[in-house]
Amino acid sequence: MKLMKKHPLALVIGSALATAYIAPAMAQNDNEHEHTHQELERIVVTANPLDRTALESAQPIYVLTGDSLREAQAPTLGETLRNLPGIQSTYYSPTASSPVIRGLDGPRVRILQNGLDVGDISRGGPDHAISTESMTAEQIEVLRGPATLLYGSGASGGIVNVVDNRVPRTAINELEGQVSAGVGSAANERTLAASLRHGTGNFAFHIDGFKRDADDYRVPEFVDPDGERSQLINNSFTDDVGGTVGASFVGQRGFIGASYGRLERQYGIPGHSDDHGDDQGGHDHGGDDHGGHDAGIFADMVQDRFQILGQLNNPFAGIERININFGYTELTHQEIEGSVVESAFELEQTELRVTARHQELAGWRGAFGVQLKRDDYASSGFEAFTPSSETNLVGAFWLAEQRVDQITYELGARLEHVELSTEGLEDISYRPFSASAGATYQASDALRFSANIAYSERAPMAAELFSNGAHFATRTFDIGGIYEIHEDHSHGDHDHSHDHAEEYHLAFRDYALSKERGANLDLGAHYHGERWHFDANLFYNRINDFIYTRNTGLLSSQLDADLGLGGGHDHDHGHDHDHSHDSSGLMVIQYTQADAELYGYEVSAHYLLSDEWHFGVWSDYTRAKLRSGGNVPRIPAQRTGLDVSYRQANWDAKVTYTQYWAQNDTAEFEAPTDSFGILSAYLNFYPQMAGRQDIAFYLRAENLNNRLGYVHNSFIRDYAPLPGTNIGLGVRMTF
């Protein structure tokens, strides 16, 4: 289907894209293009209510904005951030990749959009795409430490906040915006995005839109576990369109505004375990054949999102400002084969956060507030491996800082009440508490040391508790923590490898999973001199009752799992079911708990040899062990990177090399991954053109050495390696 014709918002998006091409010709060129590095000292982190910059925090904070964001932009948020030290991606092909921070992902990494939960189901499965878009983002922030407590106790990995300013916060006196267009060779990718802002008097308006279309992507020749030799990842296409409109009233004492956004995303689910054979032919979802390859099952995701943001300055004595953030999201996610909806997931999310920043008290600047959030989740269909559920959260938080001479102290605390309910079970409730304390010592203008210690508790999410079914996209049969697996003793001497008779069954546990309880220590040293920049971070994270998916060593054919909770489950395992999918060969994984420790480092150094030449080196490493013995599964490999940049007045170039080292610290039933290295190059040209304030043409050549690479932490790594050589061309314009 042609998504641009599905919804009236498509007309708005089309207007934004068309106007963006016309508007620059009318814009005044008051100053010529200047291509300089973004100075971290001037970048305010919007997710921190104390208006801290990236260099002022006791915890490492990454901010992508301006040229650095545009250079990193990729089809998914995980791929956009994956070259930052300490951050990799789940890499469920280019269609659905989420950030992995220091080995942690899923519910331990919160994804926000303008400070509100992104409102999707990506935290519950790596094959579910994140419903936010980097193409229309103005800034992406990655935070850890006390400030994360505003957004949830469970964000032990950190938070990622995508800022698109769809609700304008300041007055806009003239037309401004940006437009970009590009193509890529690895998947015949085509992208177009634009955003516009304008205002009159106290009113400010925002409109943005984007369109992306890509076919199945190409890779160096490889042999998958089924013995198939290929240079193409079938069913890895994507077809996305989205747009937003927003408006604000901006006065002397603050602002109030609202926005509406719609995202429509279709994408293939590569590596999907099925028994189609080749009878499906090429996929043609409304006329787009995406290269004519076997489509298999594809996802059709639609999200409607409303936001209301407001700020009132100096409302009464002692309070500097009050911020109100409200979001309402409706999301549908269908997994479709041909014209048949195999599974359907729906999420209705409502969130309210009220934050007040108080004036200095006994030397402490701070903010406090409350958060209310409700997730109403429904699932149905053959592949609905998680039942319908409802999650309600009430949280209160506090954050403060004080500067004494050269030391800045940071404190934070949060208390939550979380209640989960599903049909057939009594409600399960938790009361997580988290606290954090940090300090930054400014030894000189260039040298800074930081330390942070944190205690955090996390309540299990619904998928970790209630899952019970075949998850074909990850080639697993997922069992939640409310169940336990029992062996049928009558089959005790049965030969597993020669019969598919069920030898194990499920039973309800007498207790649900416990809260995770973690203690984290983070130490940093940062030097930003005239020529040298150096950053180093060491971390140690001990988590008691760590929740992870354990490979049981069983196949789903050996398990009688007919102890479900509704939600459309059907556990016939392919024995009598007339459906084309056969779940009998899926590996059984179960959400379980054990004490774990994770430790590692991120280090980077940059040297400015001259105004033209810039050299950099970086490395990151995470080690994750179970304290009872063994390793945490699917931990990203250690990396080392090099880059060389050269700049002139109106052009610059950069060459990068990233080495992914072998990962041999594997869990039970988990295979190691070999090392590989990827060479890439980037070229930007900034012509001086009348009527344009800022225009850039770019050329990017990724994986120039066409190296076959497997992402160790991907569930489908052996079926979907990294793309081969990709040549991209495009233009970016800001006015």
Confidence of residue 575 (pLDDT cuts 50, 70, 90): very low
On the question of pLDDT at 384 being above 50, the answer is yes
**Would you state the structure tokens that stand for residue 600, as one six-digit string?**
């590692």
Return the DSSP state at 166.
S
Nearest to 298 by CA among 346, 265, 275, 331: 265
Return the DSSP state at 513.
P
Q: Which of 290-304, 312-326, 515-529 shows the lowest mean pLDDT across its residues?
A: 290-304
Following DSSP, what letter does each residue of 616-641 receive, concatenated?
EEEEEEEEEEETTSSB-SSPPPPEEE
> Which residue in the block uniquely carries the two structure tokens 């998916």?
549
Cα end-to-end span (Å), the chain: 34
| Amino acid (one-letter) located at 150 | L
Confidence of residue 69 (pLDDT cuts 50, 70, 90): confident
- Look at residue 356 and tell me if it is in a domain: yes
Q: What per-residue string of b and e applies to 435-466 under the rule 16 or more CB within 10 Å gives b?
A: bbbbbbebeeeeebbbbbbbebbbbbbbbbbb
| Amino acid (one-letter) located at 723 | P
Amino acid 690: pLDDT: 59
**Would you state the structure tokens that stand for residue 456, as one six-digit string?**
């955090």
Residue scoring higher pLDDT (723 or 164): 723
Whole-prediction pTM value?
A: 0.86
Amino acid 280: pLDDT: 37
- In the chain, how many domains are there? 1
Taking only the tens place, the pLDDT of each residue in 576-593 is 444 445 556 788 999 999
HEC readout, 217-242:
CEEEEEECCCCCEEEECCCCCEEEEE
3-state secondary structure of 465: helix
Taking only the tens place, the pLDDT of each residue in 522-565 is 999 999 999 999 999 999 999 999 999 999 989 888 887 776 55
- Look at residue 258 and tell me if it is in a domain: no
Q: What per-residue string of b and e applies to 373-399 under the rule 16 or more CB within 10 Å gives b?
A: bebebbbbbbbbbbbbbbbbbebebbb
Amino acid 106: pLDDT: 87
- Look at residue 249 and tell me if it is in a domain: no
State the Cα–Cα distance between residues 379 and 384, nearest whole angstrom. 6
Amino acid 165: pLDDT: 87
Amino acid 31: pLDDT: 38
C-beta of residue 565 within 8 angstroms of C-beta of residue 424:
yes
Confidence of residue 497 (pLDDT cuts 50, 70, 90): very low
Would you put residue 722 in left (φ > 0), alpha (ψ -120 to 50) or beta? beta
Residue scoring higher pLDDT (96 or 246): 246
> Which residue in the block uniquely carries the two structure tokens 């009233």?
249
Taking only the tens place, the pLDDT of each residue in 7-61 is 444 444 444 444 443 333 333 333 333 334 444 456 778 888 887 776 666 677 8
Please name every residue paired with 139 in a beta bridge, in sequence order, or none if there are none: 65, 163
Backbone angles phi, psi at 491, to 5 degrees: -105, 20
Residue 640, exposed/middle/buried by CB under 10 A (0-12, 13-18, 19+)? middle
Amino acid 647: pLDDT: 94
State the Cα–Cα distance between residues 58 and 49, nearest whole angstrom. 15
Return the DSSP state at 227.
S
**Would you state the structure tokens that stand for residue 644, as one six-digit string?**
């060389």
- Average of per-residue pLDDT across 427-439: 92
Would you put residue 669 in left (φ > 0), alpha (ψ -120 to 50) or beta? left
Percent of the chain having pLDDT more than 90?
Answer: 57
- Look at residue 250 and tell me if it is in a domain: no
Amino acid 274: pLDDT: 46
Backbone angles phi, psi at 72, to 5 degrees: -85, -15
**Would you state the structure tokens that stand for residue 660, as one six-digit string?**
């992914």
> Which residue in the block uniquely carries the two structure tokens 């903010």?
367
Whichever domain contains 163, its CATH number is 2.40.170.20
Domain that holds residue 202: 3-234+264-734
Nearest to 567 by CA among 304, 388, 375: 388
Backbone angles phi, psi at 219, to 5 degrees: -135, 165
3-state secondary structure of 362: coil
Percent of the chain having pLDDT more than 70?
Answer: 84
- Look at residue 360 and tell me if it is in a domain: yes
On the question of pLDDT at 411 being above 60, the answer is yes
Residues 6 or more apart whose Cβ sits within 8 Å of residue 54 = 40, 43, 45, 61, 62, 63
3-state secondary structure of 519: strand
Taking only the tens place, the pLDDT of each residue in 243-291 is 999 999 999 999 999 999 999 999 998 876 444 434 333 444 444 444 4
3-state secondary structure of 37: coil
- Look at residue 629 and tell me if it is in a domain: yes
Mean pLDDT of the chain: 85
> Which residue in the block uniquely carries the two structure tokens 């997710």?
47
- Look at residue 573 and tell me if it is in a domain: yes
Would you put residue 167 in left (φ > 0), alpha (ψ -120 to 50) or beta? beta
State the Cα–Cα distance between residues 289 and 307, nearest whole angstrom. 35
Confidence of residue 149 (pLDDT cuts 50, 70, 90): confident
- Look at residue 571 and tell me if it is in a domain: yes
Residue scoring higher pLDDT (387 or 502): 387
Count helices and strands in the chain by DSSP H and E runs = 4, 37
Half-sphere exposure of 467 (CA within 13 A, CB side): 23
Amino acid 296: pLDDT: 77
On the question of pLDDT at 4 being above 90, the answer is no
On the question of pLDDT at 73 being above 90, the answer is no
Angle at 467 between CA 462 and CA 471, to 5 degrees: 125
| Amino acid (one-letter) located at 429 | S
Return the DSSP state at 154.
T
